[in-house]
Structure 1
Amino acid sequence: MIVVLKSFIWPVLVVVGVVWLTTNSVRSAAVDPTSITIPMPKSDSTSKETVVRVNQELARLRSEANLEMANPAEELTVWRRLSLALHGTIPSLEEIRKFEADQKPDRLERWLEYLLNDSRFDDYFAERLARSYVGVEAGQFLVFRRDRFLDWLTTQLHERRPYDEIVRDMISGTGVWTGEGEVNFITAGFANDEFDPNKLSARSVRAFLGQRMDCAQCHDHPFDHWKQGEFEGLTAYYGQVVNSLAGVADKHSKDYVVEDRLTLEKRTVEPSVPFHPEWLGENGSRREQLARWMTHPENQRFERAAANRVWALMFGVPFLSHRPVDDLPDPGTNPETATLDLLGEDFRKHGYDLRRLIRVIAATDAFRMSSIYPLPESEQENDGDTLQTAETIQQAKERWAVFPLIRLRPEQVIGAMLQANNVRTIDQNSHLFVRALRFFRENDFVDEFGDPGVDELQDWSGTISQALLRMNGEFSRELTSLNPLGSPGRVATAGSTPEKKIETIYLVCLTRLPTEAEKQYFIQRFEKDKPDQAVEDLYWTLFNSPEFSWNH
């Protein structure tokens, strides 16, 4: 059925696109970006103070390892990182031209505000966060609607609700999952019509406290301090959940009963928390008490977990790069997490504002430095091909002395390819034809490329099939061909010099200008090859370059 629909929809979209272009005319690649409005930055003296403190802590980490900090990155490079992290795609040529023309102070801060005020941020960041809350699978349609949860979470971000309130709604939500989107956090715990409170307990601790106690479900944790009784006590807060035609509710007379795996004896478990029971409060249902405990202002784990996850979404790797994003050490046990303590404290003191947390992280030295580490001269002489050099670079990554090179996620790869194929910004204001094309192409590409799932913030390697998909797949052929719908065709017919065309294509694909050596090489190719073929070849080359698929 899906295949039939696609075979019908594509011709319709093509016809609509031709009509649209005919009625609107084909503009040149030299776009007029005056329609973009850039808001004033939201940074204040308190956020600047936090950035200074974070930079000082990062300097301490580098100093302890006798490391220099990498040079500052070009502003266009930082702008590309921000766009990928917050919108899942690269800047459009339209945005780049406007950014280049902006010579006012603090333009990065103001353009960051532009990204945060755009609904693309709400859509993209909600999806990234939702993976840790409800996973990536559609689940059981009759009791779980991931799309409804995602719509709800997107609305919460758009309305700028404090993060602690969002989490409390998820943990304590009641009602029908189709009407109350947050309830799907609870119904995600259903499997084969049976409710599994253990799944919710483990996911809550991982997502909201940034720690793993899954092993304690069956036995005391072999490598950490978590005990089985502590896991059972936490799980008991979800033990009264019931589901009916009226939706999710709590049956207060219901006991949470577990069965001993060895003796098969059943016993009732009373709800309890592993530390600070006074944070629970006395009023409300068990889940309401658990929600208060999780998000209590004194629960440092909560604020640090949020800071670490947002850091990971912006850099592509958690602050402690050698550990998963949801496996932080206990507060006060590792001096390397002092940076997260500072970020978490600022997050809490300013109303659990996710946008403020992003602004602070984006302003740090770590986010704005180059991804090329300045090796000592002694190591440069050996062309960096030594064990000592490898160790230096690894330390530089772990101590945030260089911006980490991380492979883009599938939706970022296709998002970048689709945006590079359009000189104008693909957003909520784009023509329906453009948005429909993006929807179908993105879904198809991610299906073929492969989705890393909930573990997307861990290091993962590219595959040969993924490389072949980018090199020889239908997506690459469509997005690099000269047609009146895409930027390759518009660049080819712009009537400018080969040099200007090369510069434009580099900006469109890599958000930077070519080096002099790159420019001279491709000018020669343009002189030898047919101009149209040279444009297609350059697009294809840049799409398949390592630089395109990494967050340099």
Structure 2
Amino acid sequence: MITAGQLRYSVAVWLIGLLYVAPGRSADDWFLPDDLRSPEAMAARVDELLEERWQTAGVQPAECSSDSEFLRRAYLDLNGVTPPVTVVREFLADTNTDKRARLIDRLLASPRYANHMANTWRQVLVPDGLSPDQAPNIVGLQDWLREQFAENLPYDAMVAEFLIADRAGSTGPGVFYTSLNLEPEKLAARTAQVFLGLQMQCAQCHDHPFDSWTQQDFWGYAAFFARVQRQGNGRARMGEYLIDTARGEVKIPDSEETVLPKYPAGRWADADEGGTRRQQLSIWMASRDNPFLPRALVNRVWAHLFGRGFIDPVDDMSPQNVASHPELLNELSEYFARSGFDIQRLIRTLVSTRAYQLSSAYDGEHPSAELFAWMPTKTLTAEQLYECMQPLLGLDGLPNGDDSMDAVTPWSDPRRQQFLLLMQGPNATPLEFDRGVPQALMLMNGADMDGATHPDQGRLLTALAAPFLTDEQRVETLYLATLTRPPTADENAKLTEYLGTQQSSHEKLAALGDIVWVLVNSAEFTLNH
């Protein structure tokens, strides 16, 4: 639970965030032109800058995505799941020109948005692989993140509150600290990567070989975490509280040189600033002196939606790793900061662009991915794959058409955990489809697949047993439920012919199960395109 003190501090940090001024700008010239303030106008500006780059490169962009393609993509990116059949039918039948904009608003307002963002950010902050006794604390972090995204808390305030976490147990973000054993160098390296997009840890043992970071810079940043300690009843390994003591310093390795706190922007922390060192750092994170926070978040969100960032990888935003579109990154960073660090507004803007709504299909050889002239395919995460299979399975709970949190399988659910454990692939890069043999076998022969394709267990198959449905309607429903599109004429003809050869209703259900198996194991199902 967030304490009253934390809540007051969050409000203070949010107010500080409103005063953010980008590097090189004064408060007088901060305000963007009126035509760039609305999400619609900013989306047009994004497309304008991208189109200029396409023209310079002599590249033609892909065609606009079909309604089916856009619907599936938006659901997966914003809600982490494919749309239910009823939504697919309604969206494809809708002839209003604003239906895509209305869909974006609906997805951002859904509890599934907060749940999906919590899943995504939890993986970034505390990757899988912790010991089993830490699982309850992971759930606490998931719940905390879900609350922040559900309330659309300003990002700078969310980061500030994260940094001053005071609970080390099952409530809130304290597990981030304890998962890294409260070691200042690990906390510094991870927070720099996640929140600032910087690889400062390369300067831990020596000055950075390719960047301007020095050992003193790294250990100066690590000094902000040098006084964090765990205080509890001694029985729980994860402890109960995180406290900031009055003592604790860091030294450069193999020396006796003590390093005082130093902000990554280059300024030494002043002892007269007051508060604990972590509080000083959290205030700096939300201040105009921090040029990294908005850029790192914009780059990370862009990568989430487009498969790669302006700077790739997203946690290596060094001067040597030049942005593919520096002007666009700068303008979006200013736009994001000026909006009050509103993540939903940023996402709404980007998903509304022509670039996001381009097709993944391309006539001819694909241009370089960094031009964003087509939408790259992204492998579904294990979490997305699990949620997408729920409407097909005979499991307890509600189908994915329900927008309440009751429709979301709890992160701690044993069946979910078993599935995720088996499906965590060897490659976490979203653009690389590199599923291993165990994962392929899990989809082909696992217990969940058996449940989805068994005539007496599969939820979808049970619904398709209704006698008033024709075989064409059954095939169409299977395609809408799995691939978010109707079958082609050729697919429909072959599959209805196959169903027509079945001698009994039970055999027909088994044949429908075979079709489910084929569709779920197809690249079209396991890729976000």
Change (3 A) 1:430 1:136: closer
The aligned counterpart of 2:10 is none
Deviation at 1:199, TM superposition (A): 0.6
Determine the C-alpha separation between the residues in 1 that align with 2:327 and 2:355: 15
The aligned counterpart of 1:173 is 165
The aligned counterpart of 1:483 is 456
Query: How many residue pairs are counted as aligned between the two chains?
Result: 480
Residue 239, structure 1, aligned to residue 205, structure 2: no
Q: Which moved more, 1:534-543 or 1:127-136?
A: 127-136
Deviation at 1:394, TM superposition (A): 4.9
Q: How does 1:26-105 map to 2 (within 5 A)?
A: 46-105=38-97
Deviation at 1:429, TM superposition (A): 4.5
Deviation at 1:269, TM superposition (A): 1.1
Which runs of 5 or more residues in structure 1 are unaligned?
1-42, 376-388
- TM-score norm. by structure 2 comes to 0.83
The aligned counterpart of 1:305 is 296
Residue 415, structure 1, aligned to residue 380, structure 2: no
Residues 195-242 of structure 1 deviation map (CA, whole Å, 9 limit, x = unaligned): 310011001110111121211111111222221111011111111222
The aligned counterpart of 2:103 is 111
Q: How does 1:382-401 map to 2 (within 5 A)?
A: 389=365, 393-395=366-368, 397-401=369-373
Among candidates 425, 436, 442, match of residue 416 of structure 2: 442
Change (3 A) 1:297 1:514: farther
Deviation at 1:431, TM superposition (A): 7.5
Among candidates 479, 499, 502, match of residue 506 of structure 1: 479
SS in 2 for 1:513: coil
SS in 2 for 1:243: strand
- TM-score norm. by structure 1 comes to 0.79
Q: Which moved more, 1:221-230 or 1:458-467?
A: 458-467
Q: Which moved more, 1:512-521 or 1:270-279?
A: 270-279
Change (3 A) 1:437 1:180: closer
Deviation at 1:167, TM superposition (A): 0.3
Deviation at 1:460, TM superposition (A): 5.4
Deviation at 1:248, TM superposition (A): 1.7
Deviation at 1:527, TM superposition (A): 2.5
SS in 1 for 2:444: helix
Determine the C-alpha separation between the residues in 2 that align with 1:91 and 1:142: 33
Residue 155, structure 1, aligned to residue 147, structure 2: yes
Q: Which moved more, 1:226-235 or 1:265-274?
A: 265-274
Q: What amino acid sits opposite 2:379 in the alignment?
A: R
Determine the C-alpha separation between the residues in 2 that align with 1:183 and 1:435: 23
Deviation at 1:543, TM superposition (A): 0.9
SS in 2 for 1:548: helix
The aligned counterpart of 1:28 is none
Residue 124, structure 1, aligned to residue 116, structure 2: yes
- 8 Å CA contact retained: 2:379, 2:430: no
Deviation at 1:273, TM superposition (A): 2.5
Determine the C-alpha separation between the residues in 2 that align with 1:551 and 1:444: 23
Q: What amino acid sits opposite 2:188 in the alignment?
A: S
Deviation at 1:489, TM superposition (A): 2.2
SS in 2 for 1:113: helix
The aligned counterpart of 1:273 is 263
Determine the C-alpha separation between the residues in 1 that align with 2:355 and 2:392: 27
- 8 Å CA contact retained: 1:201, 1:238: yes
- 8 Å CA contact retained: 2:139, 2:412: no
Determine the C-alpha separation between the residues in 2 that align with 1:410 and 1:347: 30
The aligned counterpart of 2:400 is 425
Deviation at 1:494, TM superposition (A): 4.5
Determine the C-alpha separation between the residues in 2 that align with 1:103 and 1:516: 23
The aligned counterpart of 2:250 is 257
Deviation at 1:119, TM superposition (A): 1.4
Deviation at 1:105, TM superposition (A): 3.5
Deviation at 1:270, TM superposition (A): 1.2
Determine the C-alpha separation between the residues in 2 that align with 1:363 and 1:122: 19
Deviation at 1:398, TM superposition (A): 2.1
Deviation at 1:163, TM superposition (A): 0.7
Q: What amino acid sits opposite 1:202 in the alignment?
A: A
Q: What amino acid sits opposite 2:340 in the alignment?
A: G
State, as a whole percentage, how many aligned pairs show the same letter.
30
- 8 Å CA contact retained: 1:209, 1:294: no
Residues 129-187 of structure 1 deviation map (CA, whole Å, 9 limit, x = unaligned): 1222233344595899222222112111122211100101111233x323751333333
Residue 324, structure 1, aligned to residue 297, structure 2: no
The aligned counterpart of 1:380 is none
Q: Which moved more, 1:130-139 or 1:353-362?
A: 130-139
Among candidates 464, 488, 500, match of residue 515 of structure 1: 488
Determine the C-alpha separation between the residues in 2 that align with 1:116 and 1:230: 39
Q: What amino acid sits opposite 2:296 in the alignment?
A: A
- 8 Å CA contact retained: 1:95, 1:425: no
- 8 Å CA contact retained: 1:218, 1:228: yes
Determine the C-alpha separation between the residues in 2 that align with 1:521 and 1:144: 49
Residue 551, structure 1, aligned to residue 525, structure 2: no
Deviation at 1:348, TM superposition (A): 0.9
Determine the C-alpha separation between the residues in 2 that align with 1:298 and 1:457: 33
Change (3 A) 1:278 1:458: farther
Q: What amino acid sits opposite 1:337 in the alignment?
A: P
Among candidates 176, 189, 206, match of residue 180 of structure 2: 189
SS in 2 for 1:242: strand
Deviation at 1:333, TM superposition (A): 5.4
Residue 340, structure 1, aligned to residue 329, structure 2: yes
Deviation at 1:79, TM superposition (A): 1.3
Determine the C-alpha separation between the residues in 2 that align with 1:150 and 1:106: 34
- 8 Å CA contact retained: 1:318, 1:457: no
Determine the C-alpha separation between the residues in 1 that align with 2:303 and 2:285: 21
Determine the C-alpha separation between the residues in 1 that align with 2:199 and 2:411: 40
State the Cα RMSD in Å. Answer: 3.0
Determine the C-alpha separation between the residues in 2 that align with 1:411 and 1:335: 30
